[in-house]
Amino acid sequence: MGFASKDAGPHDRLRGMSGEPLLLEIAAIAVVIAGFTAVTAALVPPGGSWQPAMRIRQRAVVSTSFNVMFESLAPSIAFAWLGDERTALAVASAGVAIYATGIVTWRGRQFLRAGGNRNRTAVVLFTLGPTATLLFWANALVFASVAVYALALCIQLSVAVVSFYSLVSAAES
């Protein structure tokens, strides 16, 4: 790992990463999407209550959004600590990859137990989470790229968007 040099001045450590504005915009979008959870709370499906699989999707809107928000900040924090952009991206990607692997496994098991794997939306959700996780792993081990990291965040955030729209769709039918 490359730590910042001893003779780096305090202002050298405060300079931003080249992709930091992009990551901050993704964090802001994630916060907005998390706010849509309030909309889903007001929705009432036919029959009056959500099935267990749909309650998991409702939680996925907020939890995935907040995960993306914090994960968007991780490379900048690592950069402030390490002083090297590629190393910071690799470290942040590895941390997110480990966390996302656990979450995708845990949520997948919850979803299967709740019987939520029986439609096209579930297939999309089962594809998006692992795809984002694989991108984080690839970024940690090979690329160390802001673009790959941002793409993985956007794919991960699409889990919240798909979950939100599936709830809206279910409430309308």
Residue 52 lies in a domain: yes
Cα separations in angstroms, 95 against 4, 34, 63, 100: 20, 22, 17, 9
- Express each pLDDT in 109-142 by its tens digit: 877 777 666 678 888 888 999 999 999 999 999 9
Residue 9 lies in a domain: no
- State the pLDDT at residue 44: 72
- State the pLDDT at residue 128: 94
Domain of 165, in residue numbers? 19-172
- State the pLDDT at residue 1: 44
Q: d(Cα 71, Cα 26) in Å, to the nearest integer? A: 10
Residue 10 lies in a domain: no
Residue 76 lies in a domain: yes
- State the pLDDT at residue 22: 96
Instruction: Answer yes or no: is pLDDT of 161 > 60.
Output: yes
Residue 148 lies in a domain: yes
Domain count, the chain: 1
Residue 156 lies in a domain: yes
- State the pLDDT at residue 12: 54
CB of 75 closer than 8 Å to CB of 146: yes
